[in-house]
Amino acid sequence: MSQEVRVRFAPSPTGHLHIGGARSALFNYLFARNQKGKFIVRIEDTDQARNVETATEKLMESLKWLGIEWDESVDLGGPHAPYQSMERLDIYNKHVEQLLSEGKAYHCYMTEEELEKEREQQRSRGETPKYSGRDRHLTDEQKRAYEAEGRKPVVRFLVPESQEIVVDDAVRGKVTFESEGIGDFVIVRQDGIPTYNFAVVIDDQLMGISHVIRGEEHLSNAPRQVLLFEAFGWSTPKFAHASLILNEDRQKMSKRDESIIQFVEQYRDLGYLPEAIVNFISLLGWSPGGEEEILTKDQLIEQFSLDRVIKAPAVFDTQKLAWMNNQYMKEADEDRVVWLALPHLVKAGRLPEFMSEKQKQWAYDLIVLHQEKMSYGAEIVELTELFFRDEIDYNEEAKEILAEEQVPEVLAAFKNKLNELDSFTADEVKKSLKAVQKETGHKGKKLFMPVRVAVSGQMHGPDLPQTIALLGKSVVTKRLENLL
């Protein structure tokens, strides 16, 4: 094993970057940076049937958006190029031939129908289905006979009998598996392309990977990979299997689960901040040293260690993510928040795609007014609904406020003050409210609550003078007149 810390994220290009994959990438990245090591992004594209043409680019874009930087990959190159499995077939073939020549692997000619029949028989006997080893010791004559039938063989790894396989895991300690429960597994398919478990071992060894950090769902792959490392006489990297990520019902998160947005690209498109996403997913199965939960990337790098990766499943709490992103939105530069939110108002048809300078300024002020409340960019559409509707449907609670005896006097005085204004700005509106207070003697909730409810239909909201100024003189006076 390499003395230098070298870790990798090795996704298959089958779709968008999933939250689980993003966490694996992040843990590897943070560990590498903490240990002054190297982080490699490798593309495992041996499963040709599932590969999606643009997936690699989208995966890399999502990692870049999150701020996860790599040292070697398909785009940067590096000393162990190529970093894409299908460009490394010659390397794999050489190692397959080595195992075949040493009697540690063999050709298997069983058809899928024969394998399924075998599995059914095992299940009927109450056994765990596994390959029986029928073709372990075929003669050359038997092989030629199968090939004459048109059968194409796979290559299977010969699993040693009665062997205890130990996976030394930084999170789970020593995890043992019995070789009897595995069965000789396929390392090269009929089309000559190696399987994931074989390719990943060869790549990890030749690229000097010191630690394999990934999700718990890969733990079942670990014994097969350990056997392959041992078959070549190589040292096994240090494994670390992070906990499962559960949904809010504490069920294993499925990609078909629509209760949770699961892909990084979707969060980007909704107007989340990447640093908030990084902060949130870093806490899915890892615990920082103190009580503080809002952590910058530099703080995460400084604090990250494998001994604080926890075994217990992590629950994906959507409300916590919204809260955390809101903390970042509050602190973000106004221009950045507007850039995140404005496209959603345009997409919803609330604003034209091409705006005058006056419209742009109005939109800018509207978004900034709601920055404190915004959990993510797309939420601006819901938050600003009252600015884009002609009439207000007052609920029962609002009607109770408007039924108070002082309300007609307050609203009439306020309407008169607004009509006197030449400049309809937040400052002038604020002065008008103070003038109404002086004129009527009503103040506090008796003054401000009826005005807020009358113009917005809401009991609570952002700064009232700013809200009234952005609604505009004609809209506000019309709403007051309708009530009066």
Is the pLDDT reported for residue 200 higher than 50?
yes
Give the ranges where 375-425 is alpha helix by DSSP (H). Answer: 380-383, 396-402, 407-419
Could you tell me which of 17, 26, 20, 9 has the C-alpha nearest to residue 275?
Answer: 26
- Average pLDDT taken over every residue of the chain: 94
Give the C-alpha separation, 363 to 108, whole Å: 67
Mean pLDDT of 153-164: 96
Percent of the chain with pLDDT over 90: 81
Could you tell me which of 333, 334, 348, 335 has the C-alpha nearest to residue 378?
Answer: 348
Greatest mean pLDDT among 32-46, 120-134, 381-395 lies in 32-46
- Model confidence at 407, pLDDT cuts 50, 70, 90, reads confident
Provide CB contacts within 8 A for 8, sequence distance 6+: 28, 39, 40, 41, 42, 203, 204, 207, 209, 212
pLDDT for residue 290: 83
Is the pLDDT reported for residue 68 higher than 80?
yes
In 79-143, DSSP assigns E strands to 105-108
Mean pLDDT of 66-79: 97
The residues that bridge with 239 in the sheet, in sequence order, are 169, 212
Mean pLDDT of 461-470: 94
Residue 271 gets which letter from DSSP?
A: T
Is the pLDDT reported for residue 346 higher than 50?
yes
Percent of the chain with pLDDT over 70: 98
The C-alpha angle with vertex 40 and arms to 225 and 230, in degrees rounded to 5, equals 20
Is pTM beyond 0.85 here?
Answer: yes
CB 297 within 8 A of CB 310: no
- Model confidence at 258, pLDDT cuts 50, 70, 90, reads low
Phi-psi region of 81 (alpha: psi -120 to 50; beta: other; left: phi over 0): beta
CB 237 within 8 A of CB 209: yes
Q: Does residue 82 have a cis peptide bond before it, meaning omega lies within 30 degrees of 0?
A: yes
CB 48 within 8 A of CB 63: no
Provide CB contacts within 8 A for 225, sequence distance 6+: 197, 200, 201, 236
Could you tell me which of 105, 126, 311, 138 has the C-alpha nearest to residue 224?
Answer: 105
Mean pLDDT of 6-25: 95
pLDDT for residue 366: 97
Q: Would the CA dihedral through 167, 133, 160, 201 be positive or negative?
A: negative
Is the pLDDT reported for residue 2 higher than 60?
no
pLDDT for residue 291: 86
Q: Which of 14-28, 316-330, 446-460 has the lowest mean pLDDT?
A: 446-460
Residue 309: phi and psi, rounded to 5, are -80, 130
Is the pLDDT reported for residue 3 higher than 90?
no
Q: Output b/e per residue, 1-32; b: 16+ Cβ within 10 A.
A: beeebbbbbbbbbebbbbbbbbbbbbbbbbbb
Neighbours of 141 (CB within 10 A): 7
Provide CB contacts within 8 A for 325, sequence distance 6+: 272, 273, 276, 277, 280, 375, 376
Annotated catalytic residues are 255
Is the pLDDT reported for residue 95 higher than 70?
yes
pLDDT for residue 13: 93
Greatest mean pLDDT among 96-110, 409-423, 449-463 lies in 96-110
Is the pLDDT reported for residue 1 higher than 50?
no
pLDDT for residue 380: 98
CB 156 within 8 A of CB 131: yes
Neighbours of 154 (CB within 10 A): 19
Provide CB contacts within 8 A for 64, sequence distance 6+: none
Q: What is the biggest distance separating any 2 CA atoms in the chain, rounded to whole angstroms?
A: 109
CB 406 within 8 A of CB 450: yes
Question: What tens digit of pLDDT does each residue of 279-335 get?
Answer: 999 999 999 988 899 999 999 999 999 999 999 999 999 999 999 999 999 999 999
